[in-house]
Amino acid sequence: MKIGIAGAGVGGMAAAIALQKQGHDVTIFERARAFGRIGADVNLTPNAVHALDGLGIGAVLRKTAARPEYRISRTWDSGAETSRLPMSTAAEERYGAPQLTIHRADLLAALENALAPQTIRFATQVEAAVRNGGGAAAILSDGTRFEADLLIGADGIHSAVRHSLFGEDHPRFTGLVSYRAVFPRARGDGIPNLDSFTKWWGPTPERQIVTFPLNLGSEIFVFATTPQEDWTEEGWTLPGDIGELRAAYADFHPEARALLDACETVTRSALHVREPMERWSEGAITLLGDAAHPMVPFMAQGACMASEDAVVLARALDGATPANVAGALRRYEAARIPRTAKVQEGSLANDWLKQGTNADWVYGYDAWAAELTEAA
């Protein structure tokens, strides 16, 4: 089939790789002029690494990613540990894949290199998606129209394809601003557990610090949140004030504060959410990743759910023809909506692995084997 994808993010590229492997003719439209080193971390838990391993990019990811040893929860003032889950080799044994933490740009590069040449048309925005008989068309920013047997909206939280299908609705600001920073490991000398994924749980859900290694452990990533009344800016990497952030965490345990002390600069962005949807598809047009199910990052599953979507979508489309593509999309969304809605809700509840260490329903999911059934 001739397939168009809006957005060359994690989800769009992973779907394109899987669909090209099945012999489909895939074009991705990406509004950015090129990939920059934008963003910082991506956390890939075993469920996502297993999905990406099946696409053949696992070996490349392991060249730059770090492999956190444990997933630890600690209390903001006493420093007491409330949970400790072994990852790395233990996760590999239990789930068939480890957790990998990687710079977003390295993940995007690995995905791009696995695509057929010329798959991505950069500097081309999808402005709208329209149904066209049994097929679909994308209206592009260069004034042309791309006719396809299937159109996939993988165009992120502000998805134009979603607006075309289901009307204009805007993500809700959660009242939380997130800060991200990366520091060289040497600046963290003496801070314990730098090789693990650690979450410091604050006295209220508005305050938390998350840290994990990146780049084979040579760099340490730090994430923190603060409350704010409203938000009007746009962007993932707006400059933040490290002094203000340290002041907001002045009452935290010294080992948590040491993480913020090691950061020299920090970026900030807003946390937005949308409610889970009942449908993602209309005819031969569907949604994937953040376009379908944006979530706050408190389970660190944004890129993971997009990777799972990509594999399940390709499996649902295996053997499909233009005549039965709509039915294949119904099988895809029937398989994916319940799980992603549960992760959206769990992320918002912000209590994942605060206590207890059973992560099986999230980390043990196998996108290559999940059941595909007809929608009710």
Ligand X SMILES: Cc1cc2nc3c(=O)[nH]c(=O)nc-3n(C[C@H](O)[C@H](O)[C@H](O)COP(=O)(O)OP(=O)(O)OC[C@H]3O[C@@H](n4cnc5c(N)ncnc54)[C@H](O)[C@@H]3O)c2cc1C
Where on the chain is the footprint of ligand X (CB under 6 A)?
6-12, 29-32, 38-42, 104, 125-126, 154-156, 160, 180, 236, 289-291, 297, 302-303, 306
Q: Where are the alpha helices (DSSP H) in 216-318?
A: 242-248, 254-262, 302-317
The number of beta carbons lying within 10 Å of the beta carbon of residue 247 is: 11
Distance (Å, whole) CA 311 – CA 333: 12
Cβ 348 to ligand X shortest distance, Å: 15
By three-state DSSP, how is residue 26 classified? strand
| Burial state string for 33-68 with b = 16 or more CB within 10 A and e = fewer than 16 | eebeeebbbbbbbbbbbbbbbbbebbebbbebbbbb
Angle at the Cα of 350 (from 346 to 356), degrees rounded to 5? 85
Q: Which is nearer to ligand X, 126 or 248 (CB)?
A: 126
Across the strands, what pairs with 325?
Answer: none
CB of 9 to ligand X, least distance (A): 2
Chain center to CA of 25: 25
Task: List Cβ neighbours of 15 (8 Å cut-off, separation of 6 or more).
Answer: 5, 152, 154, 288, 309, 310, 313, 314
Name which of 128 and 253 has its Cβ closer to ligand X. Answer: 128
CA distance 333 to 80: 41
- Of 202 and 289, nearer to ligand X (C-beta) is 289
Question: Which is closer to ligand X, CB of 38 or CB of 90?
Answer: 38
Cβ distance to ligand X smaller for residue 53 or 255: 53
CB 123, min distance to ligand X, A:
10
Q: Which is nearer to ligand X, 154 or 270 (CB)?
A: 154
Residue with Cβ nearer ligand X (67 or 321): 67
At position 206, the amino acid (one-letter code) is E
CB of 36 to ligand X, least distance (A): 8
Which residue, 36 or 203, has its beta carbon nearer to ligand X? 36
Which amino acid would we find at residue 223?
F
> For 62, phi and psi rounded to 5 degrees?
-65, -15
For residue 5, the minimal CB distance to ligand X (Å) is: 9
CB of 321 to ligand X, least distance (A): 26
Query: CA 302 to CA 305: how far, in whole Å?
Result: 6
The distance of closest approach from Cβ of residue 304 to ligand X in the complex, given in angstroms and rounded to an integer, is 8
- The distance of closest approach from Cβ of residue 170 to ligand X in the complex, given in angstroms and rounded to an integer, is 14
Give 28's contacts (C-beta < 8 A, 6+ positions apart): 4, 5, 6, 7, 8, 12, 13, 16, 115, 119, 120, 121
Q: How far is the CB of 31 from ligand X (least distance, A)?
A: 4
Of 77 and 345, nearer to ligand X (C-beta) is: 345
**Least spacing, CB of residue 374 vs ligand X, in Å:** 26
Rounded to 10°, the helix 46-54/302-317 angle is 40
Give the nearer residue to ligand X in terms of CB position, either 32 or 255: 32
What Rg do the C-alpha atoms of the chain give, in angstroms?
20
374, amino acid identity = E
